[in-house]
Structure 1
Amino acid sequence: MVKFLKEKTDLTRISSVLSLFTLVAFHWPFFRLVLGNIEGGFNGVLITGGLGVLMFALNFLVYYLVLFLGRFAGKCILAFTFIGNAISLYFINTYQVLITDKMMGNVFNTRYSEASGFFSWSAVWYLLFLGVVPCIYIFARRFDYGSWKRFFARTGIALAVSLAIALVNMQNWPWIDRNAPKLGSLVMPWSYTVNSVRYYNSVKKQNRKEIPLPDAKIVSDSKDVCVLIIGESARRENFSLYGYGKPTNPLLEKDSVTALIADAAATYTTAGVKAILDHKPSNKLYEILPNYLNRSGVDVVWRSNNWGEPPVHIDKYYKPKELKERNPEADDRYDGILLAGLREEILSGSKDKMLVVLHTSTSHGPTYYKKYPPEFEVFSPVCTTVEMSKADPKELM
C-alpha cells in the first residue's frame, strides 16, 4: 500500500479516475430524472449516453486543468468539491431537493442550530465514504504532472470529445433546454458552485438601500395594538380550521377565528417572509412593513425565534437570547419565549400605535418533535427521524 502511494501516477489517469468516480457516485438522481423524462428507443439511449460521456469529458477537463495549474491548491479545490458533492447528494436523496440558486440562498442564510438538525448517521456515511475517502486519495497520491505539451494534448482531446457529443445530440437540444433547470440542479459540482454565484449576483443586483414608501398619516388617537405572527409554511389541508377531520386548532375554533384561504408565496423562509412584509410582489428592496411603520412613528417590536427576514431597522428587535436575559424564568427552548414579558411591554408602550411581530419557528423541519413541550404531544405516532425519505407519512402528517 505504501509503495502504491509513493509511486507517481500520471495526471491523465488520476483525472480519469476522479471523473469516473464523480459520474458514478454522485449522479444517480440526475440519470433517474433523465430516464424518467425520455422515451425509449435509440434517441433515448443517445441522450442518456451522450450526457454521461459529456459529463465525464467536462469533469476530466476541469480536474486536469485545476490539478495541473493549481498543484497543491488544485488538490484543495477538488477536495472541497468532493465534500460538497457528498453533502449535496445526501440532501437530494433524503429530502428530494433541487440545488438551485434559491436553495443556495437558504444555505447561506441558515444557522448552525438549523443545519445541524438535518444531519443523521446517513449523512455521516455519505460524508465519510463519498467525501473524505476521495480527499484522502487525492492528497495521498503523488502526481506526475507531465509537460505543457501533454497538458494541451489532453485538454484538447477532452474539448474535442465534448464538442463532438454536443454536435451528435444537436437534435436533442430542445429536450435538454426544456429540462435544463432540473438537470442543472443535479449536476455535481456545478449545481452548487454555479448557483452560489447566481445567488450572490442576484443579491448584488438588489437595491443596497431600501426604496422608501410614501409617508404614512395616522388618522386616529385611539390606542391600537396589532400582533402579526409569522410561522412556517404549512398545509391548510391538515388544519381543522379548514375542515380537516382531527381537532388540530381547538382554541382558535373556540374563538370563532376566520380562516382566510391563502397560499404561501414561497416554500423557503427568506422569500416567504419578504412577501408577507412587502407592499407588493417585487424583487426590489422596498421599505418593509416594520421599517415603514417605525419611520412613521409607530412603536414596533420584533421578536424572532427564526431568521431569514429582510433587514429590519428598528430598536426593539429581540432574539431568544435577549428575551431570556430579560425574563430568566422563561423557557427558551420553544416559541413560547416570544411571549415572555410581552404583556408588560405592550402596556408600558408610550405611543398610541404599536405593531408586534412574532416570527416563530413552529413547524420548521426536520426536527418537528423538538418544537413543542411534551404536554402538547396530542397526536401520534410522532416523527422522530430527520430523514424524511424514511419517515412514515402518517407520522409526518
Structure 2
Amino acid sequence: MKFFQRVTTTSLVFIVAIFLTTTGNLKFFSKVIEIYPLVDNVAFLASLLVWLLVFLVIGLLLVCYRYSARPILILLLIVSAIVDYFTNNYSIVFDDNMIANSLETNVAESVDLFSFELIVYVILLGLMPSYWVYKVQIVKENFLQQLWSKLKVIVILLVMFVLITLMFSKSYTFLFRENKQLRLYINPTYYLYAIGKHINSKFETTTISFKIIAQDALINRADNKKKLIIMVVGETARADRFSLNGYQRMTNPLLTNENVISLSQVYSCGTDTAYSLPCMFSNLGRSDYTHVQGKNMSNVLDILSHAGVEILWRDNNSSSKGVADRLTYQDFKSKRLNTICNIECRDEGMLVDLQQYVNAHYDKDMLIVLHMMGSHGPAYYKRYPGKFKIFTPICETNQLNKCTNNQINNAYDNTIVYTDYFLSKTINFLKSNQNQFKTAMFYMSDHGESLGENGLYLHGMPYFIAPKEQTHVGSILWFGDEFSKDVDTELLNKKANTKLSHDGMFHTLLGLVNVDTLLYKKELDYIRYIK
C-alpha cells in the first residue's frame, strides 16, 4: 500500500499507462479478435497488449516530469474515458476530422451527446484514477536523477518493443498492413496523434495567405429576368431513406406531389459536417481538398458574390464552418431571429421574414443558403415537431445502443418526413415569387448516417472505411415555371440515377446562376452534365 502512496514519476507513468491500456482498448481488442481468434492467438494478443503499453509509456516518459506529470496524466485519464465511451457505444473513431468536428460542436449538440452512462465512464475511468494521481506523493528527484532513471527504462522498453515486434513480425505486418483501420481504435495513442495533426493543420491554415480565385467571374445570360435560388444544405440525410429514391416508407409525401428531381446516387465529400461543408463549396474536389487549402481560398459563394449575386446564409446548425465568413450570415439557432422554437429552434423558422429580404434585393440575382439542423443525431426525436411523429415507437434517448433498431429507424425516418415538409414549404415560398424571378431550389445533404448497421452509429468514420450509409446522401432539384424552360427536365429525370459526387456542386451552382469563369467545368455540372 505504501507504494501506491509514494511513487516516483516513472512509476506513476507506468501505473497510469497500464490502467489506460487495459481499460481503454476494449473496442480495439474486440476488433483484433475478429481477425485473430482468442483461442489460437493468446500469445500474440498478450504481446500486442505489452506492445501498446511499451509505446505509451515511452511517449509519456518523454513529457512527464515531476511538475508536469500530474496535469498531463489527469487530463489524459479524463479525455480517454470520454473517448472510450463514444468508441464503445457508437464505434466512433477520433481521427483529425473528428477532433475538428468535436471542437466545433455547439452547446446544444453537446447536450444531445450527454448521458448517465457517459457520467459513469468519466467517474470510474477518469475522475477516480485522477483523484489518486492528484493525491499520491511523488518522490522528489532532481532533473538529472529523473533523466537517468527514464533513460534506463526507455532503453529497456525499446529493447522489449523490438523483441516483441520481431517475435511476431508476420502477425504485426499483416495486422497493420492489411487492417490499417484498427489503429484508429487505439486509446489514447491515436487520438493524441489526431490532435497533433489537427493543431498542425490549424497552424498551417492560419499562416498562409488567402487566395482569391475566379476573378474573371461574370453573370452571363440571354434574358434580364433575375434569378432567385435557394440552396438548402441538409444535415445527416441518407439517400436511401427518401421515398423519392425508392424507400418503402412514405417519407416524402409532399415532395411526391411536386415536380422535383431526386439525384439518387450522390456521394459526399466527407463523413462529418466540419469537413464536408467547406469541401462541397470548394472547387478542389474530395481527392484534393484539405482545410489548409480549401479554407484559404475563395469558395463558390465568394465567387458568386464577386460576380454580383446577392448571397445570404441562414444557419440553424452549428455554423457555416467558415464557408460564409465573408458573406451575410444569420444565426437561426437563436430565438432572437428564429420565431419557431419549442424543444429547439426549427428549420422552418429560417423562412420567416425571408420575403422581406427578397423584396429588399429585388433588383439582383439572389442565392439564399439555408443550413438545416435536419437529421442530426443521436437525439433524432428532438429534430421534428410532435405532429411529424409518424412512425412509432421511437427512440427517445440519445443512447442509441439502448434502443431497438426499429425505434432508431422510426425516429430517424420522422426527421426525413420533417425535411420533406421544410423543402415543400421552401418550394411554396419560391412559387410565390415566380412572377418576379426565375426560381429554383437545390437541396444537398452534407453526409449520411449509420443507424446501427454493423454496430456503427452516427457518422464521422474515416472515408477509406466509411460505410455507404455515411457517404450516400440525399439531393433534390426543383425548378420554377420560367426556370424549367431552360432545363431539359425530361432528360434530367431519365438520368437522375447517374453516380455523382459533391465535387460537382461548385460547378452546378455556377451553372444555375449563369456565372461564367474559366474555373467552371461543364462536365461536373449536375444539370448540364446529365443533359
Same fold (TM over 0.5): yes
Check the 8 A contact 1:30/1:186 in 2, yes or no.
yes
Deviation at 1:311, TM superposition (A): 3.4
Name the structure 2 match of 1:93. Answer: 88
What letter matches 1:25 in structure 2? T
| Aligned residue among 232, 245, 248 for 2:248 | 245
| Aligned residue among 135, 138, 144 for 1:143 | 138
Moved more, 158-167 or 349-358: 158-167
| Aligned residue among 54, 58, 68 for 1:57 | 54
Alignment pair present for 1:357 and 2:356: no
What letter matches 1:129 in structure 2? L
Q: 1:170-220: per-residue Cα shift (whole Å, max 9, x none)?
A: 333421332564232222221211101112323444564144125222224
Alignment pair present for 1:387 and 2:382: no
Alignment pair present for 1:187 and 2:186: yes
1 CA distance for matches of 2:250 and 2:5?
A: 69
Moved more, 93-102 or 307-316: 307-316
2 CA distance for matches of 1:273 and 1:356?
A: 16
Q: 1:259-314: per-residue Cα shift (whole Å, max 9, x none)?
A: 11222332211222223322340323242122111111111111011125333244
Deviation at 1:16, TM superposition (A): 3.3
Alignment pair present for 1:134 and 2:145: no
User: Measured at CA, do residues 164 and 145 of structure 1 come closer, stay the same or move farther in structure 2, by a change above 3 Å?
Assistant: farther
Name the structure 2 match of 1:291. Answer: 302
2 CA distance for matches of 1:290 and 1:319?
A: 18
Alignment pair present for 1:334 and 2:346: yes
Higher helix share: 1
What letter matches 1:231 in structure 2? G
2 CA distance for matches of 1:345 and 1:313?
A: 19
Check the 8 A contact 2:301/2:311 in 1, yes or no.
yes
2 CA distance for matches of 1:278 and 1:152?
A: 49
2 CA distance for matches of 1:222 and 1:310?
A: 31
Aligned residues: 390
2 CA distance for matches of 1:242 and 1:297?
A: 36
1 CA distance for matches of 2:209 and 2:120?
A: 42
Check the 8 A contact 1:221/1:352 in 2, yes or no.
no
Deviation at 1:391, TM superposition (A): 2.1
Deviation at 1:8, TM superposition (A): 2.0
What letter matches 1:223 in structure 2? K
TM-score (structure 2 length as normaliser): 0.68
Deviation at 1:79, TM superposition (A): 0.4
What letter matches 1:209 in structure 2? F
Check the 8 A contact 1:299/1:351 in 2, yes or no.
no
Query: What SS class does the counterpart of residue 219 from structure 2 fall into?
Result: coil
Moved more, 57-66 or 214-223: 57-66
Q: 1:65-87: per-residue Cα shift (whole Å, max 9, x none)?
A: 444x2x13211001000011100
Name the structure 2 match of 1:47. Answer: 44
Moved more, 203-212 or 52-61: 203-212
Name the structure 2 match of 1:102. Answer: 97
Name the structure 1 match of 2:281. Answer: 277
Q: 1:83-103: per-residue Cα shift (whole Å, max 9, x none)?
A: 111000011011111121221
Name the structure 1 match of 2:69. Answer: 74
What letter matches 1:114 in structure 2? E
Moved more, 296-305 or 30-39: 30-39
| Aligned residue among 9, 12, 22 for 1:14 | 12
1 CA distance for matches of 2:165 and 2:236?
A: 42
Q: 1:215-259: per-residue Cα shift (whole Å, max 9, x none)?
A: 222224212100000011322222111122222111100113111
Alignment pair present for 1:319 and 2:319: no
Query: What SS class does the counterpart of residue 98 from structure 1 fall into?
Result: coil
Query: What root-mean-square deviation, in Å, do the aligned CA atoms of Structure 1 and Structure 2 show?
Result: 2.5
Name the structure 1 match of 2:267. Answer: 263
Deviation at 1:362, TM superposition (A): 0.8
What letter matches 1:255 in structure 2? E
Name the structure 1 match of 2:214. Answer: 213
1 CA distance for matches of 2:252 and 2:45?
A: 50
Check the 8 A contact 1:5/1:141 in 2, yes or no.
no
What letter matches 2:250 in structure 1? P
Check the 8 A contact 1:27/1:187 in 2, yes or no.
yes
Higher RCO (C-alpha under 8 Å, 6+ residues apart): 2
What letter matches 1:252 in structure 2? L
Check the 8 A contact 1:294/1:314 in 2, yes or no.
no
TM-score (structure 1 length as normaliser): 0.90
1 CA distance for matches of 2:327 and 2:56?
A: 51
Query: What SS class does the counterpart of residue 311 from structure 1 fall into?
Result: coil
User: Measured at CA, do residues 224 and 122 of structure 1 come closer, stay the same or move farther in structure 2, by a change above 3 Å?
Assistant: same
Query: What SS class does the counterpart of residue 258 from structure 1 fall into?
Result: strand
Check the 8 A contact 1:106/1:268 in 2, yes or no.
yes
2 CA distance for matches of 1:115 and 1:394?
A: 25
Name the structure 2 match of 1:303. Answer: 314
Query: What SS class does the counterpart of residue 185 from structure 1 fall into?
Result: helix
Deviation at 1:47, TM superposition (A): 3.3
Deviation at 1:326, TM superposition (A): 5.1
Deviation at 1:13, TM superposition (A): 4.2
Name the structure 2 match of 1:374. Answer: 386
What letter matches 1:16 in structure 2? F
2 CA distance for matches of 1:125 and 1:208?
A: 46
Deviation at 1:61, TM superposition (A): 3.2
User: Measured at CA, do residues 198 and 179 of structure 1 come closer, stay the same or move farther in structure 2, by a change above 3 Å?
Assistant: farther
Moved more, 253-262 or 4-13: 4-13
Check the 8 A contact 2:310/2:367 in 1, yes or no.
yes
User: Measured at CA, do residues 374 and 234 of structure 1 come closer, stay the same or move farther in structure 2, by a change above 3 Å?
Assistant: same
Query: What SS class does the counterpart of residue 301 from structure 1 fall into?
Result: strand
